[in-house]
Amino acid sequence: MPTPSRSWREIPQRYRLEAGKCKGCGAVFFPPRVVCPQCGSREFGKTRLAGSGKLLTYTIIRVAPRQFEDQAPYAVGIAELDDGVRLTAQVVDCDFSALAVGMRVTIEFRRISEEGEAGAIYYGYKFVPE
């Protein structure tokens, strides 16, 4: 699991959905990048991700890594947000049978995982049906 410094430096993305917007070509990247793979520019501004989008694909994880074992089975998907950015996250508050390609989802701030009873708790974003 991440060290404190690792989870601390990821706060702008996990808590505030901060993305990088290329000043050269306007492309938006999440997570932010240092160099634009499309135009080569190294100048970026900050922007906030669109709050909703549609599912491109999904799965239900039945065999989970250790820190997610207590949550299995759970759904995960890739959504294309309304600003064109694609994002991977869990899909929650949704019956598995209702999952579908093209389903509208919004982003909510949720608990992601925890390191046992006395360890750190990690927060971030998840998808919920719109």
Partner 1 sequence: MRDVVAIGVGMTKWGELWEKSLRTIFVETALLAIDDAGVDRIDSMVVGCMSSGLFVGQEHLGSMLADYLGRIPVPAARVESACSSGGLALRQGFIEVASGISDIVLVGGVEKMTDLTGCETTFALGTAADQEYEGFHGLTFPGLYAMMAVAHMHKYGTTREQLAQVAVKNHDNGSKNPLAQFPFKVTVDAVLNSVLVADPLRILDCSPITDGAAAVVLCPAEMARKLKKPAVRITGSGQATDTIALSSRQDITWLESTHLAAQKALAMAGRKIEDLHLFEVHDCFTIAEIMVTEALGIAERGRGGRAVEEGLTSLKGRYPVNPSGGLKAKGHPVGATGVAQAVEVIKQLRGEAGERQVKGAKRGLTQNMGGTGGSSVVHVFEAD
Over the window 26 to 45, marking each residue x when it contacts partner 1 by CB under 8 A and - when it does not, the resulting string is -----x--------------
> Which structure tokens are listed for 107?
């982003």
- Does 112 interact with partner 1 (rule: CB under 8 A)? yes
Shortest distance (Å) from residue 111 CB to partner 1: 12
Residue from 27, 54, 76, 114 that binds partner 1 (CB under 8 A)?
Answer: 76
Residue from 62, 95, 116, 117 that binds partner 1 (CB under 8 A)?
Answer: 62
47-80 burial, b for 16+ CB within 10 Å, e for fewer? bebbeebbbeebeeeeeeeeeeeeeeebbbbebe
Contact 82, 17 (CB under 8 A): no
Q: Name the site residues for partner 1 (rule: CB under 8 A).
A: 10, 31, 56-69, 71, 74, 76-78, 86-90, 96, 101, 112-113, 122, 124, 126
